Chain A
Amino acid sequence: MTSARRDEVMGHRATPARRPPPAGAGPLAWVRANLFSSPLNAALTLVGVWITWTAAYAIVDWALVRAVFTGSDGSACAKEGAGACWPFVTAKLDQFIYGRYPAAERWRADLTMALFAAGLAGVMIPGVPRKGWIAAFLLIAFPAIAYVLLTGGHFGLAVVETEMWGGLLVTLVVAVVGIVASFPIALALALGRRSRLPFVRWSSIGFIELVRGVPLITMLFMASVMLPLFLPEGVTFDKLARALIGVALFEGAYLAEVIRGGLQAIPRGQYEAADALGLSYPQKIGLVVMPQALRLVIPGIVNSFIALFKDTSLVLIIGLFDLLGIVQQAVSSDTTWLSPSTPLTGYVFAGFVFWVFCFGMSRYAQRIERRLDEGQHR
């Protein structure tokens, strides 16, 4: 007797197989749970996909499909419906990086940037030994080395005047000098603002409020246009140096307020404890207060550095050619490359480079915050 026959005789009926339960794991389940959980969610997902697809398609179409890759002047990019004009970027790439820094001397700029990158990596990557020494190198030896390398005039290096600098080099110089030089200024101002000596306190408050009350553009403009008028006839003062001083003072005032926030968060007891131990004022600040205060405000500091990095492009209004300035100059005035698609290509390139740097900084800031959080939760 077959089993089917037996079931029939015994009155058993085969239960039809049920559908398996919806998968609780795997990509399909994730999609269902997160993207199509309700009609509204499904609609939003579809709209989102459509927007992403359209944008991505437009970008790929412009940057690759319709783009022009070869050519020796703007007429190659002037054809109907042409996308990005990449030969323009290729032809100008050296200028975008170094400005008009003489080609034979560019290794000096390369070496400076490489030293800086190496030092920075040493400080930032956890687990690298002797961080203190690397930091000391970055803060003390590196500025001197960079100055000698970039400007020349010593050790048989040819002098390269700052008028020749430009592009990414100027952007980095302004940002790095601004960041490094503003820090001691900010420390002094933040402490000065909390000082008990009225003259120190009032002058710190006066400086901070004055500088914070004017836009960076005004500072740069004053440094570039007004300063020469107050100097004796014929005495000139390097334009880049003027801009650097302006940026450092400006950033110093902002950073001072960030650091003051940290100082205010330190409980009074810490000061009193330091006093009770008989520490002098510098010892109290250097050993007890500052290390705690700075730790608290690291995210704020990095944040204002990112802002500064982007603000560096303002130097173009005083005729210095940072990355954006030199791109703008090239797209608007080089007769060889004038074409309908040149400006967009140039600006997209500049935007991308700025994004890479700012994104890098912001990722690093996030990592620091996470690391500090771990410390707090111990």
Chain B
Amino acid sequence: MKSILTTGLAAIVLAAVTAGPVLAQGTLQKVKDRGQLVCGVNTGIAGFSAPDDKGNWSGLDVDLCRAVAAAIFKDPAKVKFVPLTAKERFTALQSGEIDVLSRNTTWTMSRDTSAGMNFAGINYYDGQGFMVNKALGVKSAKELSGASICVQTGTTTELNVADYFRQQGMTYKPVVIEKLPETLAAYNAGRCDVFTSDASQLYATRLTLGSPADHIVLPEVISKEPLGPAVRQGDAQWGNIVRWVLFALINAEEFAITQENVDKMKDSTNPEVKRLLGSEGDFGKGVGLDSDWAYQAIKAVGNYGESFERNVGQGSRLKISRGQNALWRDGGLQYAPPIR
């Protein structure tokens, strides 16, 4: 019954989506008329989007929305956050309820091409990782041969593990469990050596274990889950704004422009920095914004690295290492095209 219903719903959603929305005016103009950006975020995921004790939204995905709002309005507060569940997120974007979907959404081909939306970039390279007890003395996933692994049945997580161990020519004992909390409980009780899930979740999960310091997340990431912001299909200018705000934050880290020194950096002699911060050329025009668009975004949330460390990295309790999310020159994957 449930699956029939879901299929029916999916069919209707798809029909409505493929019919395609007719855009009377550009999203940027609508956002400006409204006076605030409307940003779809997760209903609550540690480090990415969650309200703090005072009820203010914070997190890596939230920072991106604030940066876009700052680039448009010169005020990072002019953004409204709409918490969305996984099921609602695409229709919310489709129906125009939100302008940007910044909700740890994996960039896949089908979503990018036939779900009526376009991805604007990748603000977090996620992927499945492994967590083990330190007492095991394992430093790499390649040493896990023969280990027992707690996995949920019928998930891609389970399939990824099977593929990885086959590729590596290693064996493992699956401890198959129905639900995630029970899987975690089994790991916590020592029924298996390894707990596996998306890396971003492993760190949050670790904090809920009896003694977090006893567990380590192994460096290997065995699947590709590139998470990024998405916009409605059919408005190239709006997609450009979101994409280039993200690129501006990544470029800012590369040029060591921080929230603190951004004012001083305006007088930098480096032409790349000058172009980014708008003291030379007028690159904002290309996306319909003022020339200080990137300056405002960086001023609001800091560069990509600052935002990362503050929300999920060493400045937070999650302590996620940069890994794939380090800059390209530091061995990571974060690479932004030049502003020229």
Q: Measuring CB to CB, which residues of chain A are less than 8 angstroms from any residue of chain B? A: 73-75, 78, 80, 91-92, 94-95, 99-101, 103, 161, 163, 218, 221, 224-226, 228-231, 233-236, 239, 316-319, 321, 325, 328-330, 332-336, 338-340, 342-343
Q: How far is the CA of A318 from the CA of B32 in the complex (A)?
A: 28
Contact of A338 among B80, B85, B207 (CB under 8 A): B207
Contact partners of B12 in chain A: CB under 8 A: 226, 229
Cβ of B97 within 8 Å of any chain A Cβ, yes or no, is: yes
Chain A binding site: helix, strand, loop or mixed by DSSP? helix
Contact of B208 among A101, A325, A343 (CB under 8 A): A343
Contact of B207 among A234, A329, A339 (CB under 8 A): A339
Q: Is the CB of B55 within 8 A of A218?
A: no
Q: Is the CB of A163 within 8 A of B91?
A: no
Known A95-B55, A334-B52, A335-B317; contact A228-B43, beta-carbon cutoff 8 A: no
Contact partners of A92 in chain B: CB under 8 A: 53
**Ordered nearest first, which 10 A-B pairs have the shortest CB separation?**
A333-B44, A228-B95, A329-B44, A100-B55, A333-B50, A338-B207, A234-B96, A229-B16, A233-B21, A333-B46
Q: Mark B38-63, 1 if CB is under 8 A from A, else 0.
A: 00001111110111111100000000
Q: Is the CB of A224 within 8 A of B30?
A: no
Q: A228-B91, A233-B21, A329-B50 are in contact. List 5 more A-B contacts (CB 8 A).
A: A163-B82, A229-B95, A319-B83, A335-B47, A340-B209
User: Can you identify 29 A-B contacts, CB atoms within 8 angstroms?
Assistant: A78-B211, A91-B53, A92-B53, A95-B51, A100-B51, A103-B54, A163-B82, A225-B9, A225-B13, A225-B87, A226-B12, A226-B13, A226-B91, A228-B92, A229-B16, A234-B96, A318-B88, A325-B43, A332-B46, A334-B52, A335-B46, A335-B47, A335-B316, A338-B207, A338-B317, A339-B207, A339-B208, A340-B208, A343-B208
Name A235's closest neighbour in chain B (CB-CB). Answer: B96
Contact of B87 among A221, A230, A316 (CB under 8 A): A221
A105 to chain B, nearest CB (A): 12
Name B316's closest neighbour in chain A (CB-CB). Answer: A335
Q: Measuring CB to CB, which residues of chain B are less than 8 angstroms from any residue of chain A? A: 5, 9, 12-13, 16, 21-24, 30, 42-47, 49-55, 80-85, 87-88, 91-92, 94-97, 204, 207-212, 311-312, 316-318
Q: How far is the CA of A46 from the CA of B332 in the complex (A)?
A: 66
Q: Is the CB of A338 within 8 A of B91?
A: no
Q: Is the CB of A335 within 8 A of B204?
A: yes
Q: Is the CB of A321 within 8 A of B83?
A: yes
Contact partners of B16 in chain A: CB under 8 A: 229-230
A52 to chain B, nearest CB (A): 27
Contact partners of A339 in chain B: CB under 8 A: 207-208
Q: How far is the CA of A318 from the CA of B91 in the complex (A)?
A: 12
B256 to chain A, nearest CB (A): 26
Q: How far is the CA of A233 from the CA of B235 in the complex (A)?
A: 14
